A and B are shown apart, each in its own frame.
Chain A
Amino acid sequence: MITARSLFRRFLRQWEWTLVLLLVLVFAINSRLSPHFLDLRNLLDSTLHFTEKGIIALSMTLVVISGNIDLSVASTMAMSAAVMGVAYRGGVAMWLAVLLCLATGMCGGLFNGLVITRFKLPAIVVTLGSYSLFRGIAYVLLGNKAITGYPYQFAELGQGYLGQTPVPNQLVIFAVLAVVFGMLLHRTTFGRFIYAMGNNEATCRYSGVPVDRIKLILFTLSGLMSSFAAVLLTSRIYSTRPNIAQGFELEVVTAVVLGGVTITGGSGNMLGVVLSLFLIGFARFGMSLLNIPGQVMTVVIGALLIVAILLPRMLSQIADRAEGQSV
């Protein structure tokens, strides 16, 4: 009896296996409900709807493991996309506009990082402020207008496919970045520092870990990845509006938390986050094939975020209680 329970607990701790199981479940349900779900081309195309969020989720994973959070990612996207659009309309070459976009994102992230580290303020409050500030800048730059008419080649980036295969460029970019971020987190000293910071920042300071510098790098990275996602999104939808990517921060944080990263920092891994991205993405794709409206999906995603944190805690409590009774 006890072995069965401890197996169950170990299974819970292996959150990735739970995610794989859920992914299989989503595939099973969706392919029963809709004959169009299990179509390779469809499936690959559906990844386009979450690879941009996925790219931000990679850097968000580092930020959350370090014990911080960045709520400004979607607004950073809007701000840097707006800068790119305005620059391009102003006659700047497209490649330079893209660079400006990335630079804007980095500056935004650097700004967050500087305010957080110099004044020792909580990341939640500062990024909540810049959530509104950056979005406001996007609105001020663009007003209520949209910028369209980007060069044809630019669309290749977000809409194109890898050679003759049905694999979208975006999926390839995401895969490469996922590996890079996975290595950074799991194979470098920098990555170990991130975990250490999330577990106990004060101890890290006393142990000589350059906590402030790492935070600064993480937030700058978060800004950079957001602006890169903005480039891909702009290329895919082929236009820039100040209200793009609204609510992305919610979905990114949901994916990270569902991927098994503790919201208070210190634990979690990249594989879990990638699995949860695919899980949410395919679940959404299935729902959209069933013509479930976007607002219902918003409710589902919101509930998922809460359940993702609530469920493991409740299950392990139940397991604890059961173990206590059997002893």
Chain B
Amino acid sequence: MVHASTRQRRALALLSRIRELGIIGFGLLLVVAVTMHSPRFLSFDNFSEIALDVAILLIVAVGQMMVVITGGIDLSVGSGLALSGMIVGMTYKHGAAIHPIIALLMGALIGLILGSVNGVLVSKGKVPPIITTLGTMSMYRGMTFIVSRGAWVNAHEMPASFIGLARGAVLGVPNLILIAALVFVGFWFFMSHSKPGREIYAVGGNSEAARLAGINVDRIKFMVYAVTGLLYGMSAVLWVSRYASAQSDSASGFELSTVAAVVIGGVSTFGGTGRITGVLFGALLLGIIENALNVMQISPFWKLGIEGLVIILAVVLDELIARSVQQSIARVRGAERGDHREISIQALP
């Protein structure tokens, strides 16, 4: 048995590597195909544009990843982002010239509060994540309208220093990419080398076993939603700064992009597995697809449909790969034990 489980673990590690290689391969293929169609796609300028687009998506997708690993989902990230961004924008509109860093902290704090509401409802209230965040999705969106009374906050109402937050650069590296890289490295370490990070996987893998092992499941669940809130609150400020406007319908549908990045990245929607590197590749692939649509002058209306299709394809592909891996394990095990019974697919750890 020890033998088999080692092999199983190896197979699962292989699985996530196959997934990531698959995404990279597909991404490269896409880049080659689009470049052949319109050569200006493969330019430094265009790729830094993609990186800038992906930066904000990646920051929020990291939060979404943690939530999905616990077996939940956060559909409120788009409206939460809009609300946090709008409150910061309104602060500027009303003439408070706060320092951009303070604005960033303020956004993060607002996001933290919004995320904590989800966290409390899911962990203490035992309201299913999909219901909680479907509810807060419309509440936060409605509140964005109420806060702004439907008006926009425009570029001329924001100080130049604030707009420089997302558009500036340190030693030639754009701030946005710098911040996204910091978040990525920080959370890579958090997920793979810290106790609470590992506990997130444990809770998603089997919450009852995690509880019996002495993990405070409620606290972990609360944490992932709260941290996601913090991340989208921070992203909201970067968003408003980058596009130099806060609108009441900002980031609508953004929750789907984050779910897509996470699911393409190989995070299982059953919870318990998934790697942050996969999410990075997922977000990059989405960025490349969206940019390719622009470059090839395909109607932006396709974006929504393609995103949905990609989500479905990714989960179907995952299931098929998992099945074939499972079957080969079953075959090896069967050969060891001398029987050839098929092992059910749901038994995948």
Contacts and interface: CB of A to CB of B under 8 A. Distances in A.
Contacts of A298: 138-139, 141-142, 145
A247 B128 contact: no
Interface stretch (B92-100, B199-207, B230-238, B314-322): B314-322
Interface in A305-327: 305-306, 309-310, 313-314
B316 A132 contact: no
Nearest to A130: B308
B125 A313 contact: yes
Contacts of B309: 129, 133, 136
Contacts of B346: 120
Contact of A135 (B134, B150, B304): B304
Contacts of A301: 138
Contacts of B142: 295-299, 302
A154 B205 CA distance: 53
A124 B303 contact: no
A310 B150 CA distance: 31
Contacts of A132: 253, 256, 304-305, 307-308, 311
B238 to A, nearest CB: 24
- Interface on chain A toward B: helix, strand, loop, or mixed SS? helix
Q: How large is the interface on B (under 10, 10 to 19, 20 to 34, 35 or more residues)?
A: 35 or more
B131 A121 contact: no
Contact of B146 (A119, A295, A309): A295
Contact of A305 (B135, B259, B311): B135
Contact of B128 (A133, A136, A263): A263
Given A264-B128, A299-B142, A310-B125, A129 B315 contact: yes
Interface in A237-296: 242, 247, 250, 253-254, 257, 263-264, 293, 295-296
Contact of A143 (B150, B269, B301, B345): B301
B263 A125 contact: yes
Contact of B139 (A302, A309, A310): A302
B135 A303 contact: yes
B307 A136 contact: yes
Interface string B121-143: 10001111011101111110111
A153 to B, nearest CB: 32
Contacts of B311: 125, 128-129, 132-133
B73 interface: yes
Interface in A111-138: 115, 119-122, 124-126, 128-137
A119 B269 CA distance: 13
A310 B121 contact: yes
A135 B299 CA distance: 14
A131 B132 contact: no
B308 A133 contact: yes
Nearest to B75: A128
B319 to A, nearest CB: 4
A306 B121 contact: yes
A126 B73 CA distance: 13
B312 interface: yes
Contacts of A303: 135, 139
B44 interface: no
B243 interface: no
A306 B315 contact: no
Nearest to B305: A136
Given A130-B308, A133-B312, A136-B307, A302 B135 contact: yes
A136 B304 contact: yes
Contacts, number: 139
Interface in B292-347: 299, 301-309, 311-312, 315-316, 319-320, 345-346
Contacts of A302: 134-139, 142
B117 to A, nearest CB: 9
Nearest to A309: B127
B155 to A, nearest CB: 25
A242 B302 CA distance: 13
Contacts of A139: 301, 304-305
Given A136-B304, A140-B301, A295 B134 contact: no
A294 to B, nearest CB: 8
Given A125-B311, A295-B146, A143 B299 contact: yes
A122 B128 CA distance: 14
A69 B304 contact: no
Contacts of B126: 313
B265 to A, nearest CB: 14
B270 interface: yes
A122 B127 contact: no
A224 to B, nearest CB: 20
A135 B312 CA distance: 14
Nearest to A75: B308
Contacts of B132: 306
Nearest to B304: A136
A124 B130 contact: yes
Nearest to A317: B126
Contacts of B73: 124, 128
A314 B125 CA distance: 8
Chain B CB within 10 A, most for which of A125, A131, A303, A313: A125
A299 B121 contact: no
B138 A299 contact: yes
Interface of A: 69, 115, 119-122, 124-126, 128-137, 139-140, 143-144, 242, 247, 250, 253-254, 257, 263-264, 293, 295-299, 301-303, 305-306, 309-310, 313-314
8 contacts: A69-B130, A115-B316, A125-B269, A130-B308, A295-B145, A299-B138, A299-B139, A306-B127
What are the 5 A-B residue pairs with the smallest beta carbon separation, nearest first? Answer: A136-B305, A133-B308, A132-B308, A136-B304, A129-B311
Given A120-B346, A133-B308, A298-B145, 13 more contacts: A128-B311, A130-B312, A132-B308, A136-B302, A136-B303, A140-B302, A250-B135, A257-B131, A301-B138, A302-B135, A302-B142, A303-B135, A305-B135
Interface of B: 73, 121, 125-128, 130-132, 134-139, 141-143, 145-146, 150, 253, 256, 259, 263, 269-270, 299, 301-309, 311-312, 315-316, 319-320, 345-346
